[in-house]
Amino acid sequence: MSITRYARTILAGSALLGMVVLGCRKETPGPDTPIADGGVQVDLGNMPYSTLSEYRFFLGNMADRVPNTGVLPYAPITPLFSDYAHKDRFIWMPSGAGAQYVSDDQVLAFPDGTVLIKDFWFEGVQPGDVRRVLETRVMFRRNGAWLFADYVWNDAQTEAFLDLNGSIVPLDRKDADGVVRHVDYRIPALAECHTCHKSDNVAMPIGPKPQNLDMIMSYPEGPMDQLARWAAEGYLEAGYPLAIQHLVAWDDTTQDLELRVRSYLDVNCSHCHNEHGHCEYRPMRFAFSRTDDISNIGVCIEPEEIIDPGWTHIVEAGDTARSVLFHRINTTNEAYRMPLMGRTVVHQEAVEMIARWIEGLNPPCTD
């Protein structure tokens, strides 16, 4: 959906682990006083708390993820892949605070007091085919800076505890075809979070951008444009454009294949592959707003680093075997895989989609 009938404004966020850095936008810092709306307990001066339950983001059994008053669920059009983990995302803001629109492809400018919450969970976990929440990442803004915290859930699924050291959780899960698959799920350490969640080494969210939020969502009161719902909640200020150049769902086969590929690469790769990211020295620029020129994806661009002499271009038109990009997304070898962090298994369905796109490119590269 590019058009919505409600006034919009922008705020956003993704969630990951704990550290304080100077924010990249200049906003007036709010006071470090406790905020409590609808039972939610946000005391910026004392965060992060040692346990997730102290925030009171959820009602009843915390693992059921029933949001408290003012804790608004949200979802991206195309999500980041994380070893087939499911994710639930929520945002909370103090009364009277709202995010501001910057551009379609930039994270919303969030005010102090904003909290972004992201759960990672698997279904079909063995033994017993159970649902298991592994971690909840919390990102909050205080005094113009983003801070991160990660909460690791106990086996009883009754509480999650602050842990910034990182860990590996081995588990067996049953996939959609009923096949049991093993994954060594990586809960990142603080430094790992900052590798991706930064711009010019300043910590920031990477997910909540208008281009990846502009869609219809189901709410208890009925379906509604997601940005309009944020505006109705007071979480998005008026002034955002009615027409937004948005992504498409990468797995929506009714959409153009190239748009699906560009959307997937934007969400999974562009936070590092841009002028201000971790991989700024690489030639690729995977932002959706840049890849209408497919040379920014690496089509017919020779790699700076020769990994294999047979891999002649970052993307060799019509030939996956000669395409560096294909090999990087199709391996779990840490020396070569892309993304470098956030996955330990191959996203098979996405690899197959990108392979079809590469094979359909023509004419062949001539260099």
Q: What is the mean pLDDT of the chain?
A: 85
Banded model confidence at residue 204, pLDDT cuts 50, 70, 90: confident
The whole-angstrom separation of Cα 151 and Cα 52 is 7
Percentage of the chain lying above the pLDDT 70 cut: 83
pLDDT of residue 27: 30
Outline where DSSP puts E strands in 190-258.
198-199, 202-203, 216-219, 222-225
| 217 and 322 together in one domain | no
Mean pLDDT of 144-160: 96
Host domain of residue 328: 257-359
Residue 98 belongs to a domain = yes
Q: For residue range 29-59, list pLDDT tens digits in order.
A: 333 334 544 599 999 999 999 999 999 999 9
| 268 and 229 together in one domain | no
Mean pLDDT of 166-176: 95
Residue 51 belongs to a domain = yes
Residue 139 belongs to a domain = yes
* Separate counts of helices (H) and strands (E) for the chain: 6, 16
pLDDT of residue 366: 82
Domain boundary among 218, 233, 248: 233
pLDDT of residue 128: 94
| 228 and 263 together in one domain | no
Is 50 exceeded by the pLDDT of residue 10?
Answer: no
Angle at 267 between CA 201 and CA 326, to 5 degrees: 105
The whole-angstrom separation of Cα 104 and Cα 125 is 38
Domain boundary among 200, 218, 233: 233
Is 80 exceeded by the pLDDT of residue 279?
Answer: no
pLDDT of residue 335: 83
| Structural domain count, the chain | 2
pLDDT of residue 287: 80
pLDDT of residue 353: 98
| 156 and 261 together in one domain | no
141-145, 233-237, 291-295: the lowest-pLDDT one: 291-295
| 171 and 300 together in one domain | no
| 269 and 209 together in one domain | no
| 188 and 332 together in one domain | no
| 49 and 184 together in one domain | yes
| 193 and 102 together in one domain | yes
- pTM metric for this prediction: 0.85
| 57 and 155 together in one domain | yes
Phi, psi of 63 (to 5 degrees): -70, -15
